[in-house]
Structure 1
Amino acid sequence: MIHSSAQRRPAPIRIAVTGANGGYGRTLLDQLRRLPDMVAAQLVDPDVDGVRRMLADLGMTGDDVVTATDAAEAAAAVDAGRTAVVADAAHVAWSHIDVLVEATGRIDAGFSYADTALDNGVHVVMVSKEVETIAGVALSAKARERGLRYLPGDGDQPANLMRLVDWVLTTGFDIVALGKSGEYDLVFDPETGIVNQNGVEKHAPALADLLGRGDDLRTTLADRAQAVSGLKRAAAADSCEMNVVSLYSGATADVETMHYPVVRPDELADVYSERADGGILGATGVIDVFSMLRLPGEASFAGGVFAIVRAGDDVTWEILRGKGHVVSRDGRYACIYWPYHFMGIETPLTIAAAVDDTAATPEPRQHTVLAARASADLAAGTPFRVEGHHHEISGVAPVIVAPDAGEVAPYYLLSGARLNRDLAAGELVHFADLDGVHEPAASAYLSGLALAI
């Protein structure tokens, strides 16, 4: 049997998970069962019954789980070695938590949980990228002031991509572009001419002649995009994640909606090269997302992450090309990639880093803003709500823009607010256009924006 060389902790890390009854929470809780040095101490979710059913599915039943109706009951459960399930922040025993994993995906609740955790001396692992885009800079600064750790959670693309970036930069490369694949592949069956994107099918026989990059890459990309038009390939979650990467890396968007080229993985180094070299980039040091095109049975990129670097010695990179690495046709660029993100399964890495102080603490800055641009004419009084699996807001499109003096409203601060004037299609939404903005999160955003870039 293979054993870890790591020393056991004298006491397990006590973890609280907010938004526990979600997919991310479940993957984390499943993994924690395998780690004797970590324990799911308190699980926070309004759907207490749903959390208990999930725990039962994972084999945690009977006296192992206690529904706590106040902080004292939650503390007693943790002291007894049990898992406390609580409905909201009022019932959390903060004194019995070492690390909070914030995974609600909601601005109001998520910001409050993270902020309160820091006030109570608890490290924060941030999974709610929506919160991060607004308050990440301020929460990170607050954590540093208190000698605590505030870290994006491994397992989601922002943290994974930043780990890859650290490796690439430490190795000595110059990064041209970095990004991820979209959540759902375009799976094309040449026999039927059907392309399938997560169960949504389109007849696209033209793709049969577009599986290779051809002699004119940009024409091939345009033809592929036309062949799959009508399929929803861009998602607010993608823009949100890339904005988070921007906060920590300083990378900006080449175009505000990102390119979303339809790409085979072995083409990435050619696609994300500069226009002068036949690629699509008008600038370098940028973030982007691509739609993966593959055949049935081929391995997926799995929402993984990539970095495009400038190659060096021709002979070196021809040797690496021969070993299967992705190198551009002209040998000037190479793609280094990790084709995975394992959600909560990886998050224990961040939890351990927060407690052990073993990783450099990143200091995010508001290098870009995830803003909202009206996708249609909107009337005064229009309400905004975050809805659906991808946490999108009807009537506006997410765009990644340069920061201003604080007039442009971040995309997710629209949640729960209303327009106070008519807004024409194409206009950015500003704070002055909104009533009912969540003030604590807005204040955190503006304070973070004031920090020097």
Structure 2
Amino acid sequence: MNLHHMLKSRHAEGRPVRVVLIGAGKFGSMFLAQVPHTPGLEVAAIVDLSPDRAREACRIVGWDDARLAATAFTDDGMAAIARTPADVVIEATGNPAVGIRHARAAIAAGRHIVMVNVEADVLAGPLLAEEARSAGVVYSLAYGDQPALTAEMVDWARATGFRVIAAGKGTKYLPAYHDVTPDDVWGHYGLTPQEAQAAGMNPQMFNSFLDGTKSAIEMAAIANATGLDVPECGLAFPPCGVDDLPHVLRPRSDGGILDKPGVVEVVSSLERDGRPVFRDLRWGVYVVLEAPNDYAAACFRQYGLKTDASGRYAAMYKPYHLIGLELNISVLSAALRGEPTGQPLGFRGDAVAVAKRDLKAGEMLDGEGGYTVWGRLMPAAQSLSLGALPIGLAHKVRLSRDVAHGDVLSWSDVEMDAANDTVKTRRAMEARFADVAQQHKPKLGVA
């Protein structure tokens, strides 16, 4: 709770925390909006495919000419990492291959890396975090995004002596969403294609939030960072409001939906018939915890905590997340404390590609949020056993055989370049953590 004090000291000493930001999209722009109001924090360089667009983004969020003139703008991320004196690199491109490359460059240059790019984290994060620890730098999930916020709540619960039963986030979900494509995504958001285009909204990106892919990726990141298990049959997306979290997300043996305690799960803001859930958690995160004794359970009741009927299970939640507006917490935690705001410590969960329709040999996959596949959460041990294709690699690769609607794709279903650096990194991560993943293979019915 002293990050601001530590930053003030650095500012008074004339040693600001210096940052290289890679990716000036929505997340990056929200971070940039806070920089002028955070004395002691400076952005030394901004990397974007369009430096002019990045400059305009800075103007839109309130940067003055002096700050713009003091900041380098470039489209070369590798050069910016190598040549810019900086404490922290923020990777916010959303491209897993690019994110892995930038993370390794930052680690090699002795910079801390804040990985906004959850796609890269789920594809190879356990290996990247291990490399960072070996190099004496911090690899961190991005505070403000739901994985880091959930990991923080899990850490809080465990540090205070509670057993974590479930943790995750809320989202808007119906089973039919898995097959939605960019052509029909906007109707589910209550927008016309023209309105979305005028707002500069990318249909494939927004579809990844709707079709379940982003939820799978983020829950895999949480599982890998916290050691929580992944449901063997994937996410259930139960309709659930904040008042019902401890009722719904408890073990089936106690009246809930969970096969066992200690798992990640996403709750839906929609009932299965499309009606809104009362007091939904669409924008927030939660943790369900268990009282270790009768005294603690009585305290839950005495202090008004929402519990299940037994009083034994309770929930804490945060109703909103502010993504880039909160990113300073990760940057300053890494630079001033040498601590991550969550990082993968093992390979517990994976996000794998599932066919949105019957796919034919010769078709080209188009990745997250596209027309061909969506991402499903799967235990890492199961993914490795099946040879499942990670959603992060299901982009611009050609099918070598037919795949039926709803089937999980495998490595053997696609023409993959084994010499590709991203593929090699993923394969290295699988080999390094295969034994650990197998040790934590879910066992249904075990409490």
Q: Shorter-normalised TM-score: what interval?
A: 0.7 to 0.9
Query: Relative to structure 1, is the Cα distance of residues 247 and 363 closer, same or farther in structure 2, using a 3 angstrom cutoff?
Result: closer
Measure how far apart 1:322 and its partner are.
5.2
**Partner residue of 1:128?**
117
| Amino acid of the structure 2 residue aligned with 1:265 | V
Q: Is the 8 A contact 2:352 2:375 kept in 1?
A: yes
Q: Which residue of 2 aligns with 1:430?
A: 410
SS at match of 1:254: coil
1:276 Cα deviation from its structure 2 partner: 2.1
Take 1:198 and 1:41, find their aligned partners in 2: how far apart are those partners? 37
**Greater shift in the superposed pair: 160-169 or 284-293:** 284-293
The aligned counterpart of 1:385 is 366
What is the aligned counterpart of 2:284 among 283, 304, 309? Answer: 304
Q: 1:244 to 1:90 in 2, by over 3 A?
A: closer
- How far residue 444 of structure 1 moved from its aligned partner, in angstroms, is 1.5
1:89-100 equivalences in 2 (<5 Å): 89=77, 91-92=79-80, 94-95=82-83, 96-100=85-89
**One-letter amino acid of the structure 1 residue matched with residue 43 of structure 2:** A
SS of structure 2 residue aligned to 1:337? strand
Alignment of 1:7-18 (within 5 A): 7-9=8-10, 10=13, 11-18=15-22
**1:105·1:130 contact (CA, 8 Å) conserved in 2?**
yes
Pick the aligned partner of 1:287 from 261, 264, 267.
264
Q: 2:91 aligns with which of 92, 102, 105?
A: 102
Report if aligned partners of 2:20, 2:86 keep a CA contact under 8 Å in 1.
yes
Equivalent residue for 1:85?
73
Q: Runs ≥4 in structure 1, deviation > 6 angstroms?
A: none
CA contact (8 A) 2:214 2:375 kept: no
In the alignment, the residues of structure 1 paired with residue 26 and residue 374 of structure 2 have an alpha-carbon distance, to the nearest angstrom, of 25
1:108 Cα deviation after fit: 2.2
What SS does the corresponding residue of 1:116 show, helix, strand or coil? Answer: helix
Which is greater in Rg?
A: 1
> If each structure's helix is expressed as a fraction of its own residues, which one has the higher value?
2
TM-score normalised by structure 2 residue count:
0.80
Q: Is the 8 A contact 1:31 1:345 kept in 2?
A: yes
1:73 maps to none
Q: State the alpha-carbon separation in 2 of the partners of residues 362 and 400 from structure 1.
A: 18
- In 1: Cα distance, 2:32 partner to 2:173 partner: 25
Amino acid at match of 2:359: L
Assess, with a 3 A threshold, how the Cα gap between structure 1 residues 18 and 200 changes in structure 2: closer, same or farther.
same
Using the TM superposition, give the Cα deviation of residue 153 of structure 1 relative to its aligned residue in structure 2, in angstroms.
1.0
Measured after TM superposition, the shift of residue 426 of structure 1 is 3.5
Pairing of 1:305-344 with structure 2 (within 5 A): 305-314=285-294, 316-321=296-301, 323-344=303-324
| Structure-1 residue corresponding to 2:162 | 173
Question: When the two structures are superposed, what TM-score results if normalisation uses the length of structure 1?
Answer: 0.79
Q: CA offsets per residue over residues 33-53 of structure 1, 9 Å max, x none? A: 111111111111112222111
CA deviation string 1:395-452 (max 9, x = no partner): 2232222332683221111112111111223332222222255822222122122224
- Structure 2 CA distance, aligned partners of 1:373 and 1:406? 13
Q: Are the structure 2 counterparts of residues 398 and 184 from structure 1 closer, same or farther at C-alpha, using a change threshold of 3 Å?
A: closer
Change over 3 Å in CA distance of 1:401–1:154 after alignment to 2: same
Q: Which residues of 2 match residues 401-412 of structure 1 at below 5 A? A: 401-402=378-379, 403=381, 404=384, 407-412=387-392
CA distance in 2, matches of 1:129, 1:380: 30
Contact residue 302 and residue 341 of structure 1 kept, 8 A: no
- SS for the counterpart of 2:158 is helix
The aligned counterpart of 1:55 is 58
Structure 1 residue 368 displacement after superposition:
2.2
2:422 corresponds in structure 1 to 441
Shift of 1:293: 5.5
Contact 1:106–1:130 under 8 Å retained in 2: yes
Of 391, 399, 420, 2:376 maps to: 399
**Comparing 57-66 and 255-264, the one that deviates more:** 57-66
**CA offsets per residue over residues 132-184 of structure 1, 9 Å max, x none?**
01110121121122111111111111111111111100111111111111168
Cα distance in 1 between the residues matched to 2:81 and 2:353:
37
1:52 and 1:200, CA in 2 relative to 1: closer, same or farther beyond 3 A? closer
Unaligned runs of 5+ in 2: 175-186, 193-208, 437-447
Q: Distance in 1 between matches of 2:345 and 2:295?
A: 38
Deviation at 1:130, TM superposition (A): 0.4
Separation (CA, whole Å) in 1 of partners of 2:369 and 2:352: 12
Q: Which residue of 2 aligns with 1:75?
A: none
Which of the residues 231, 237, 247 maps onto 1:254? 231
Could you give the per-residue CA deviations for residues 272-294 of structure 1, whole angstroms, max 9, x where no partner exists?
Answer: 11112221111221111011359
Pairing 1:348–2:336 present: no
Tell me the SS of whatever aligns to 2:287: strand
Q: Do the aligned partners of 1:181 and 1:292 also contact (CA within 8 Å) in 2? A: yes
In 1, Cα distance between the equivalents of 2:189 and 2:353? 26
1:236 aligns with 2:217: no
| Larger deviation, residues 425-434 vs 148-157 | 425-434
Q: Distance between the aligned counterparts of 1:142 and 1:409, measured in 2?
A: 24
2:29 aligns with 26
Tell me if the contact between 2:300 and 2:314 (Cα under 8 Å) persists in the aligned partners. no
Distance between the aligned counterparts of 1:367 and 1:314, measured in 2? 32
